[in-house]
């Protein structure tokens, strides 16, 4: 069962208005990040702005504190509408956190592995924002090495206008990235990894497919010293001390949370 936390209604401002199934889904997406204390740090960083809001049928995350490369994100506003959340939930319930789909190509044998984990993916973008410069450099090197390898073994197909990694169905377990979309940009690579790491089923796949970023994420939870921006390192350390004292953060956290 996913744990609950007082941070959830703050992080997801319409949380109390969600259905029980929606609440359970959102909580399961953020389960290990609550237990690790990292959600509380992200919440505290963004308390001046509503991180999720639900005007009418929309879930709007106002993250004006974020600075990202893409101009379309410069305002810091990302919108979740109810249909997107329901679609993600339905995919998760049917297929789990990862599923395959066929791109619009004449080569019908090619697939893209996609994630059904929008809430934890978006949390990944926020988590990236509080990492140290050296940690971000490590992530950049992980991404570049994988992109170079992917371009050799799974080059983009002629006529394909996207940036995702595509593989033959029988090569799905030999893909370079945990999801096809991870190939597109370094920060999407990290957000997709956070999404996959949030669930035991996909976390085990991440460990095999991308052991470097898997270990990086383990260290964020268990060996976080020096991995966060100096502005937030003390807050992370304090939150994790409190979570250990409460019994929420233990050495076997990733085994306990078997979502």
Q: What is the pLDDT of residue 44?
A: 84
**Model confidence pLDDT, tens digit, residues 4-60:** 578 888 787 677 888 898 888 888 999 999 999 999 999 888 653 344 444 433 333
Lowest mean pLDDT among 53-62, 200-209, 236-245: 53-62
Q: How far is CA 176 from the centre of its chain?
A: 18
Can you give the pLDDT at residue 70? 34
Q: DSSP 3-state assignment of 98?
A: strand
The owner of tokens 């893409």 is: 70
- Rounded Cα distance between 133 and 114, Å, is 29
Closest by alpha carbon to 183, among 154, 217, 215? 154
Residue 205 near residue 217 (C-beta atoms within 8 A): no
Strand partners, 166: none
What was the pLDDT predicted at 252? 93
pLDDT at residue 106 in the model: 53
* 228 vs 2, more confident: 228
Kindly state the helix (H) or strand (E) to which residue 114 belongs, with its residue range.
Answer: strand 110-115
pLDDT band at 228 (very low <50, low <70, confident <90, very high): very high
pLDDT for res 214: 98
- d(CA 128, CA 229) in angstroms, rounded, equals 10
pLDDT digits (tens, 9 = 90+) for 62-100: 333 232 333 323 333 344 667 778 888 999 999 999 998
Give the model's pLDDT for residue 45.
80
Give me the pLDDT at residue 101, please: 86
Phi and psi at 202, nearest 5°, equal: -80, -25
Query: Does this model's pTM top 0.75?
Result: yes
List the chain domain ranges: 7-256
Instruction: Give the lowest-confidence range in 8-22, 133-147, 172-186.
Output: 8-22
**Mean pLDDT over the full length of the chain:** 83
- The alpha carbon torsion through 161, 83, 68, 207 (nearest 10 deg) reads -80
Question: What's the rounded Cα separation, in Å, for the pair 193 and 181?
Answer: 10
């Amino acid at each position: 069962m996913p744990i609950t936390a007082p941070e959830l209604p703050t992080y997801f401002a319409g949380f109390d208005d969600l259905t029980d199934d929606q609440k359970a889904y959102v909580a399961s997406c953020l389960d290990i990040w609550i237990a690790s204390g990292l959600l509380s740090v992200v919440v505290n960083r963004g308390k001046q702005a509503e991180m999720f809001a639900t005007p009418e049928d929309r879930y709007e995350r106002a993250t004006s504190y974020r600075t990202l490369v893409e101009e379309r994100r410069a305002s810091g506003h990302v919108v979740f509408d109810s249909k997107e959340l329901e679609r993600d939930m339905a995919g998760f319930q049917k297929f789990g956190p990862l599923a395959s789909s066929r791109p619009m190509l004449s080569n019908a044998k090619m697939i893209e592995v996609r994630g059904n984990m929008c809430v934890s993916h978006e949390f990944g973008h926020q988590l990236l924002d509080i990492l140290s410069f050296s940690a971000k450099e490590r992530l950049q090197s992980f991404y570049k090495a994988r992109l170079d390898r992917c371009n050799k073994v799974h080059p983009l197909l002629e006529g394909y206008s996207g940036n995702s990694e595509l593989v033959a169905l029988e090569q799905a377990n030999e893909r370079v990235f945990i999801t096809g979309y991870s190939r597109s940009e370094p920060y999407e690579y990290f957000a997709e990894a956070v999404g996959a790491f949030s669930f035991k089923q996909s976390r085990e796949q991440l460990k095999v497919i991308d052991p470097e970023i898997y270990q990086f994420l383990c260290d964020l939870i268990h060996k976080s010293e020096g991995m966060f921006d100096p502005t937030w390192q003390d807050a992370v350390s304090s939150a994790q001390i409190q979570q250990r004292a409460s019994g929420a953060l233990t050495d076997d956290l990733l085994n306990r949370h078997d979502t």
